[in-house]
Structure 1
Amino acid sequence: MKDMLQSPTRRQLLSMIGKTAGATAMYQAMTTLGFASESSFKESMDLKGAPPGASIVILGAGLGGLTAAYELRKAGYDVKVLEFQNRGGGRSWTINSGDRYTELGGEEVTCDFEEGNYLNGGPWRLPSHHYAVFHYCKQFGVELQPFIQTNDRAYLHRTDHFNGVPQRLGNVKDDIKGHVSELLSKAVNAGGLDRSVNKEDKEKLLEGLKGWGVLDKDYRYKTSHATSTHRGYSVYPGGGLMPDAKPSKVLPMNELLNSGMWSDLSNNFDVYVHQPTMFQPVGGMGKIGDAFTRECRDMIEFNAKVTKIHQDESGVTVNYVDSNSPDGATKTVRADWCVCNIPLSILTQMDINVSKPMKQAIAAIPYESSFKVGLEFNRRFWEEDEWIYGGVSYTDMPITQISYPSQDMFKTGPGVLLGAYGFGETSYKFNTLTPQERINVALAYGKYIHPQYPKEFKAGTSVVWHRIPWTLGCYGIWNESTRHQYYDTLCSIDNRIVLAGEHCSHIPAWQEGAILSGMDAAKRLHKKAKMLG
């Protein structure tokens, strides 16, 4: 951050320009590290011919486990699913009005939103290329609607820049484009690109820059009615004797560079995984987990806390206790095979007799820390006062971002914002706060972007993932080294046990990764079971 506050060097300037045009390169780099990959789903599964009487126990009713359960039962297996919670879906979780849960430390988190309002505690958006999610949503009747990721009316905000006043995303985007066009036109006119373009190309380039960057006849980007047709007016055109339109003021290039807002554009909007059109289930992301649970309900035993997983040459024995039973008596289930969908952060603490390489792989993958705070307000002031319908605002304050609902637009009455959402160091601080303190902090910071907060606030709820007992973290973190050393081992069939979940995929943190992992685990386990008869 300190470097960003200094006057930029030529190298920094070129780097920033590269960021605005380099989303593809960034996406490829993210894919190499195992993030934001495109789904490899091509077609639905059609497993057949399970060995007569073959049985499978699946540990964890997250999407990876339930995908495997659904497909393996269709193949003819006797399937039983053990789930720690009293619901299925895992991190495909929506917190609705009246919900409550207890986090590590004993604090109870409640949700007092009005009926119909909710917070997606885990996943909250679906990229258009996550084909497997859409396949099962269509098959199970989960209704989807557009999710608005990018909205030019949303804000970019820096505490120490522009006097702390949030700037419209579209204004920043247009002004960056205009200033870069002016700089490039100067380079062209000064002969700086003579080795790259001939005279005819030079003329075409200049003409193109003038239109693309909204430059005047002298190739300058400055406040004018022309620029305002792109970035918006300070006073919009009216009718009759209403005031004439007034141009909005262009942001100075040096302030834009020093603010670091360019990184928001490249990191949060231009990456492939956030490109429109994105989607969300009607009624909350938990509708996907609910649909899988409905399809698999007769196979699932809820409130089943697994305590031991033991495999031998002929099968797998799982010990578990009923968390609702006062005596805590141990129960046992025996099956020929096991698909383990338990998060690695939990599995590392369990008694499981897998090979030494598998144990090392399970222990090698840490889990990301993340937090979310949902804030309900008496009215949808972001729409009524600021013309913001969907989208995300980004800030350098600890709340990191504010997301505006893509559903129920123009609705009268209370609405919910995702008032804070972040990862890493910032989330460590949120992890130490009580549920009420998290709400207070989100309100205290958010009012610098939306002054309506104090007057309009109604209720709040939150999730800090390292304090969620059944996962102890948000998702598995991979890097190039750990993926090379441990990934194949983690995904291999260890005698009679195979793992599944987003951590066993090249798309960690996404439901698509969990579903594809469940499909792949089911397919490979079925192949081995048929081979052994």
Structure 2
Amino acid sequence: MAHPCQIWLKLRPTMTSGDFGREHAARWAEAEELLRQLEGGKKPVDGASFPKRFREIGGDLALARRRMYGSAITERLNDLVIRGHAVMDRSRRSGWRSFVEFVTGGFPRAVRSEWRLFWLCNAAFWIPFLGMLWIAGHDMRWVQAVIGTEGMSNMEDMYGGRSQQIAHLRSEYGSNFMMFCFYIYNNVAIDFRVFAGGILAGLGTMFFIVFNGLHIGASAGYANHACDPQSFWTFVAGHSSYELLGMVVAGMAGLAAALELLEAGHEVTVLEARLRPGGRVYTLRDPFSDGLYAEAGALFIPDHHDAVLRYIRRFNLPLAPIPSRAMVSIYYLRDTRILASEGASARWPVELKPEEQRLGPVGLWNRYITPTARKLGDPSRPDWPPEEFRRLDSISFAAFLREQGASEGAIAILRLGYFDLFGDGIDQTSALFLLRDTAMRKDEKQTYCLRNGNDQLPKAMAAAMKDRIRYGCAVQRIEQETARVRVVYRRGLETETITADRVICALPFSILRGIEVEPGFSPVKARAVETLPYTSVCRIFLQFRTKFWARQGLPGSANTDLPIMWCWDPTLLQGGPRGILEAYIAGPTARKLVGMKETDRLLFALTEMDKVYPGSRREFEGGGTKSWDEDEWQRGDYAWCRPGQMTTFGAQLATPEGRIHFAGEHTSAWPGWMQGAVVSGLRAAREVHEAAA
């Protein structure tokens, strides 16, 4: 049977780093001599040309970084840019007197000289503001149309009263200083949009002024009629004048690798077995009503996953923060439902040590897991793990918890939700593997998702590569020779062949093990390909007429010992009355659902969901499912390691085999995360580029 492979094919680069350095050496030498004279206080004969030279050097540096021309060139150019910036900055300094003169005289004169525009911008703000403020008192549907249901909810949280306001601000920002920083950031961002909008013949400027007038007017109107007006107006009066003044005045790993190689000047072709990009970044839309959607693949984007966030910023995709209150869970254990908010007063239906009873799930985590995770160092380093921690790969995570002194009751609580979603659960998974994941999350403070679906990211990356991707191409054979690699693949009803200098293989080992490779991989790599396990995952999505759990005051997240395992509300940030609850099922239970009819899966999940969220059966409308074991191009979801596997072949997962390089979450320190896919793609791209230099 044919199998897929996302392959990145490299032909000879258009210019090597040596060619680049020789072509521009004379210009760089002239810039260095000019800098030496300026830094020494001399007035060079050609000093007037320095700004132009400075811009040229900056352009060379950007090009060298993009094409990965090596540290020697980029460090030299970076030094020139830093020195040039210092020289130009020094020439612009004129002391405090000029600044004071501008603030007290120059700026007021400039505003008075443009008094017509000043009053036009004022009118553009105040007329929509006052109009919306009046309309809000007569028809709340206008308010909902402008700020949305989520905005109305946030207004209630923020301005329900003075004490509630303070509690909300502290929970969101952590301190008065951070709250102050957020408002500075937010207000400057608004002012900058208004300013930058002038580039569109002033239309952008007027749009942002009118939009903010409508939005602030709707918010004020809603605060007057549905919140505590005093807490709103006293808060706004303290800072609004400054704000208004300023305003008036094909798999992720492969896609990342392909983009980097294209920008470095290589010829790239991507073979994708599916008819869509993204692999396990998969947003499910079709089964649901009213434009609702749910993530059947990658779900969260933590704030420290810099590689993913870099591409999100590059393509200007809209990030949505997951509210911290959404991560508060229900615990359902041995037919008992417990709210995490109950804290130490919760009565757990398991036997705990006296000191454990007072801790709760978070306290148990901090007592038995966090201390070791903090000592593990940086798991992304190639020489990780430290020798003293390699022993942890020989035992299961459950055995590790027992070593730390956790009772069986505490282990029963800790396994719920997160840890048991890896592999076949904590009794079968390497302790080192799960501790690595915990260590990688130690700096996480906020999680995000993409508004309108995480699949926007791979779609944007694919669009940037235009016709470089060939869809519907299932790789059958990879033949490696001394100076080239030949890939045989099926496209539709035809068998085709493509020859390349190098190949980046970003498909999971669960698929690679079924592809013919000649000559075969080294013994260690072959063992890794054949034995690396993938987590069985089945995700079941139930659509309901209303978000009844929110009316009952229940969070949309639940950790359970039921077959549905972890429950989540993927419509948390989506508007409308309808909602979805997901059952995230992993391990042996997920394998039992393979081959089951979708209607039977939905009924199975609905029966269990009703135990956690009473009323589910009454509100149920329909749904959809995704079994990653059944996916012919995947055969499992994310990689995991049994005891002993990380130290046996973990270091070999990413090691090239001749002209074949490897990418994918399974080859990274972030298995199961988009960050792992992207970082591995960047690493593989560097390998290919350096091999060609």
TM-score range, shorter chain: 0.5 to 0.7
Whether 1:387 aligns to 2:548 is no
CA distance in 2, matches of 1:144, 1:152: 17
Q: Secondary structure at the match of 1:491?
A: coil
Aligned residues: CA RMSD: 3.2
CA distance in 2, matches of 1:331, 1:516: 30
Q: Deviations over 1:380-421 (max 9, x none)?
A: 1122x22346x5111111001211236446x43222121x11
Q: Which amino acid aligns with 1:413?
A: P
Unmatched 5+ stretches in structure 1: 1-43, 51-60, 98-110, 188-255
Q: Which amino acid aligns with 1:286?
A: D
Cα distance change on mapping 1:148 and 1:363 into 2, 3 Å: farther
Q: 2:568 aligns with which of 392, 398, 403?
A: 403
CA distance in 2, matches of 1:123, 1:148: 18
**Farther off after superposition, 521-530 or 477-486:** 477-486
Cα distance change on mapping 1:361 and 1:388 into 2, 3 Å: same
Q: 1:121 aligns with which of 274, 279, 296?
A: 296
Q: Which amino acid aligns with 2:465?
A: C
CA distance in 2, matches of 1:152, 1:342: 32
Q: Which amino acid aligns with 1:338?
A: V
What is the aligned partner in structure 2 of residue 349 from structure 1?
A: 514
Q: Secondary structure at the match of 2:653?
A: helix
What is the aligned partner in structure 1 of residue 187 from structure 2?
A: none
Contact 1:152–1:169 (Cα < 8 Å) also in 2 = no
What is the aligned partner in structure 1 of residue 66 from structure 2?
A: 46
Q: 2:281 aligns with which of 92, 107, 130?
A: 92
What is the aligned partner in structure 2 of residue 334 from structure 1?
A: 499
Q: Which amino acid aligns with 2:251?
A: G
CA distance in 2, matches of 1:341, 1:421: 25
> 1:428-439 counterparts in 2 under 5 A?
428-439=591-602
Q: Which amino acid aligns with 1:374?
A: F
CA distance in 1, matches of 2:692, 2:452: 39
Contact 2:538–2:626 (Cα < 8 Å) also in 1 = yes
CA distance in 1, matches of 2:470, 2:344: 52
Q: Which amino acid aligns with 1:120?
A: E
Q: 1:442 aligns with which of 586, 605, 628?
A: 605
CA distance in 2, matches of 1:64, 1:315: 22
Q: 2:630 aligns with which of 461, 464, 467?
A: 467
Q: Deviations over 1:249-288 (max 9, x none)?
A: xxxxxxx969954654996999673954111111122122
Q: 2:341 aligns with which of 167, 170, 182?
A: 170
Cα distance change on mapping 1:139 and 1:480 into 2, 3 Å: farther
Cα distance change on mapping 1:446 and 1:371 into 2, 3 Å: same
CA distance in 1, matches of 2:479, 2:618: 57
What is the aligned partner in structure 2 of residue 199 from structure 1?
A: none
What is the aligned partner in structure 2 of residue 205 from structure 1?
A: none
CA distance in 2, matches of 1:137, 1:152: 23
Q: Secondary structure at the match of 1:321?
A: strand
How many Å apart are 1:167 and its aligned residue? 2.2
Q: Which amino acid aligns with 1:88?
A: P
Contact 2:292–2:571 (Cα < 8 Å) also in 1 = no
Contact 2:489–2:496 (Cα < 8 Å) also in 1 = yes
> 1:179-218 counterparts in 2 under 5 A?
none
What is the aligned partner in structure 2 of residue 413 from structure 1?
A: 577
How many Å apart are 1:480 and its aligned residue? 5.8
Contact 2:328–2:557 (Cα < 8 Å) also in 1 = no
Q: Which amino acid aligns with 2:67?
A: L
Cα distance change on mapping 1:446 and 1:173 into 2, 3 Å: farther
Q: 1:456 aligns with which of 609, 612, 619?
A: 619
CA distance in 2, matches of 1:350, 1:334: 17
Cα distance change on mapping 1:45 and 1:365 into 2, 3 Å: farther
Q: Deviations over 1:200-221 (max 9, x none)?
A: xxxxxxxxxxxxxxxxxxxxxx
Q: Which amino acid aligns with 2:608?
A: Y
CA distance in 2, matches of 1:296, 1:173: 54
Identical pairs, percent? 28
How many Å apart are 1:154 and its aligned residue? 4.1
Contact 2:293–2:571 (Cα < 8 Å) also in 1 = no
CA distance in 1, matches of 2:504, 2:410: 51
Q: 1:295 aligns with which of 464, 472, 477?
A: 464
CA distance in 1, matches of 2:512, 2:653: 12
How many Å apart are 1:119 and its aligned residue? 2.0
CA distance in 2, matches of 1:489, 1:171: 46
Cα distance change on mapping 1:317 and 1:173 into 2, 3 Å: farther
Q: Which amino acid aligns with 2:314?
A: Q
Tell me the TM-score normalised to structure 2 length. Answer: 0.51
Tell me the TM-score normalised to structure 1 length. Answer: 0.65
CA distance in 2, matches of 1:169, 1:333: 56
Whether 1:139 aligns to 2:310 is no
What is the aligned partner in structure 2 of residue 482 from structure 1?
A: 645
Contact 1:63–1:514 (Cα < 8 Å) also in 2 = yes
What is the aligned partner in structure 2 of residue 200 from structure 1?
A: none
CA distance in 1, matches of 2:670, 2:596: 30
Q: Deviations over 1:323-345 (max 9, x none)?
A: 3xxxx221111111100112111
Cα distance change on mapping 1:82 and 1:388 into 2, 3 Å: same
CA distance in 2, matches of 1:303, 1:495: 27
Cα distance change on mapping 1:399 and 1:47 into 2, 3 Å: same
Cα distance change on mapping 1:483 and 1:94 into 2, 3 Å: same
Q: Secondary structure at the match of 1:448?
A: helix
Q: Which amino acid aligns with 2:503?
A: C
Q: Deviations over 1:49-96 (max 9, x none)?
A: 59xxxxxxxxxx211111110000111111000100001011011111
**Farther off after superposition, 276-285 or 517-526:** 276-285
Unmatched 5+ stretches in structure 2: 1-63, 71-249, 359-407, 422-436
**Farther off after superposition, 260-269 or 139-148:** 260-269
